[in-house]
Amino acid sequence: MPRRTPNERLQVGYVGKAHGLRGELNIRLITDRSERADVGNVLYAGDRALLVVASKPHQKGYIVAFDGVDDRNAAEELRGSELCADRIEDDDALWVHELIGATVEELDGTERGTVESVQENPASDLLVTNDGALVPLTFLVERRGDVLVVDVPAGLFEINQPAEPDSSEPDPT
């Protein structure tokens, strides 16, 4: 999931190695918004604005040509750069930086802590709460401001709880 950078842009990918001699680059997106690599979009490497003038899918990323990056040397200067972009206004989108600090609440109103981080997972990204619970984002049913309402299977929140001592055993002291 993208994270917010200090200049309020979102991190959306990385620049890989140069491809060929004409300044094309391999880029890898870390967002589900593939339109970030579309012709006409502007990406940023630091403070440098990079206009996408050509783009095609390649393996797990894209081969992209940026305006003003005309040869391999210019492309190699960008290698390893973090790519950022301005926010896309989408009321239905979930942004990691907006989930951190949100309260997790079950359908019945039971509060289950606050989100400390979001962990990437192939099946579904996971909300990591302050008590260690891992809640797949697929269980998120509603967002009300800073409250995330989840519908989870019974026992999900008990998985990470410490076991209660068995009161039938004598105290070893």
Tens digit of pLDDT at every position of the chain (173 positions): 444 444 578 889 999 999 999 999 999 998 888 899 999 999 999 999 999 999 999 998 999 999 999 999 999 999 999 999 998 876 666 777 778 899 999 999 989 999 999 888 888 888 999 988 889 988 988 888 889 999 888 878 876 665 566 666 666 66
This model's pTM is above 0.75? no
Q: Are 121 and 138 in contact (CB under 8 A)?
A: no
Q: 132 in a domain, yes or no?
A: yes
Give the range of the structural domain holding residue 116, as residue numbers without chain letter.
Answer: 96-158
* Same domain flag for 123 and 153: yes
Q: Give the integer Cα–Cα distance in Å for 131 and 65.
A: 46
Residue with tokens 């200049």: 7
Q: Give the integer Cα–Cα distance in Å for 27 and 23.
A: 12
- How many domains are contained in the chain? 2
Q: 168 in a domain, yes or no?
A: no
- 66-85 burial: b if 16+ Cβ within 10 Å, else e: beebeebeebeebeebbbbb
